[in-house]
Amino acid sequence: MRRRALITGISGQDGSYLAEFLLEKRYEVHGIVRRSSTDGFQRIKHLEGEITLHQADLLDQQSLTRVIEQVRPQELYNLAAQSFVPTSWEQPLLTGEFTALGVARVLEAIRLVDPNIRFYQASSSEMFGKVLEEPQNEKTPFWPRSPYGVAKAYGHWITVNYRESYGLFACSGILFNHESPRRGLEFVTRKVTDGAARIKLGLEETLELGNLAAMRDWGFAGDYVQAMWMMLQQESPDDYVIATGEKHSVQQLVELAFERVGLDWQEYVEMDSQLVRPAEVQTLCGDARKAGQQLGWAPQVDFQKLIHMMVDADVARISHQIQVNESVGASTFF
């Protein structure tokens, strides 16, 4: 019998990579999506017919319980969240509802429907915030610096609490930033790779950025979804940091991306103080030794390879769109 997995947030970056990975492992893959008035789900279009989608929302307890009852998965990956940090200052309450209480709703549904379901929670290095040590590991105390980070800290602890209170097989993966050509355009890596490609192809003249000195530990999303699955295959549930152990500044990211398209970044990048956050996470760097030793996990794609992959994908995508527009005589590009 094929194992069944249910993924919340299947239409997001990680959801799409995890769905592909689980299909390769011969899982029956189900996903939760929100109803939309437009034809969305671009990241999982290519999986049509191979996965089953169900409508539910992290805000709606009944809808979550109903889908879990229908699917009866052996594994549930909770990837859905309001995941963009700046939006969490604009919509702190909604971020708390989705990103914090949403986790408790999924756990409650599991507890009531089938406490044997193995649960993965998408926790975040953003919880370390104003870091108290470097590199950060599973024992490093949290000091979140955004409503998003605070909400993720609740999600982490409620996962630990349901494990300790009810004996659920519940794991919290504390993942550091991970990126890909499917990354949302508002996150800094994709904003930079898309921006460099647009400037190279003559569609834009400048790129506005905020804090160039911020440092992150950036890995490849395709590597990180494997760690999620590995956590749920262990004998007992636990929490793991997933990271590359290397950090780079936003400026280094910009240099690398512009160099890839043969441009000098200093001629195009402008500072926009509006993009600086009310409270910044200045630096993050993870220590994933526990995941290495216990799960056998290691990242495969390094920083340079990741940024080159993203720039090349954006150049190819935009060039193709320009050609399509030219062939139909369209004068605007979007």
The residues carrying an active-site annotation are 124, 126, 148
Does 199 participate in binding ligand GDD (rule CB under 6 A)?
no
Which region among 6-14, 110-118, 207-215, 320-328 touches ligand NAP (by CB under 6 A)? 6-14
Angle at the Cα of 108 (from 102 to 109), degrees rounded to 5? 90
34 interface partner picked from ligand GDD, ligand NAP, none, CB below 5 to 8 A per type: ligand NAP
Q: State the sign of the Cα–Cα–Cα–Cα dihedral 232, 234, 240, 245.
A: negative
Does 209 participate in binding ligand GDD (rule CB under 6 A)?
yes
Does 178 participate in binding ligand NAP (rule CB under 6 A)?
yes
Q: Which of residues 288-327 bind ligand GDD (CB under 6 A)?
A: none
Nearer to ligand NAP, 36 or 294 (CB): 36
The correct pick among 51, 122, 192, 285 for binding ligand NAP (CB under 6 A) is 122
Nearer to ligand GDD, 32 or 281 (CB): 281
Q: Which of 319, 291, 55 is nearest to 176 (CA)?
A: 291
The CA R_g of the chain, rounded to the nearest whole Å, is: 20
CB of residue 87 to ligand GDD, shortest distance in Å = 10
- CA torsion angle 231 47 24 71 (round to 10): 60
Does 177 participate in binding ligand NAP (rule CB under 6 A)?
yes
Does 175 participate in binding ligand NAP (rule CB under 6 A)?
yes
Does 182 participate in binding ligand GDD (rule CB under 6 A)?
no
Separation between Cα atoms, residue 206 and residue 186, nearest integer Å: 16
Nearer to ligand GDD, 283 or 321 (CB): 283
Does 129 participate in binding ligand NAP (rule CB under 6 A)?
no
CB of residue 58 to ligand GDD, shortest distance in Å = 15
Does 82 participate in binding ligand NAP (rule CB under 6 A)?
yes
Separation between Cα atoms, residue 118 and residue 107, nearest integer Å: 10
85 interface partner picked from ligand GDD, ligand NAP, none, CB below 5 to 8 A per type: ligand GDD
CB of residue 180 to ligand NAP, shortest distance in Å = 9
11 interface partner picked from ligand GDD, ligand NAP, none, CB below 5 to 8 A per type: ligand NAP
Which region among 209-217, 221-229, 304-312, 326-334 touches ligand GDD (by CB under 6 A)? 209-217
Query: CA dist 264 to 54, 201, 261, Å?
Result: 47, 15, 9
Which residues of this chain interact with ligand NAP, rule CB under 6 A?
A: 8-9, 11-15, 32, 34, 57-59, 79-83, 98, 122, 124, 175, 177-178, 184
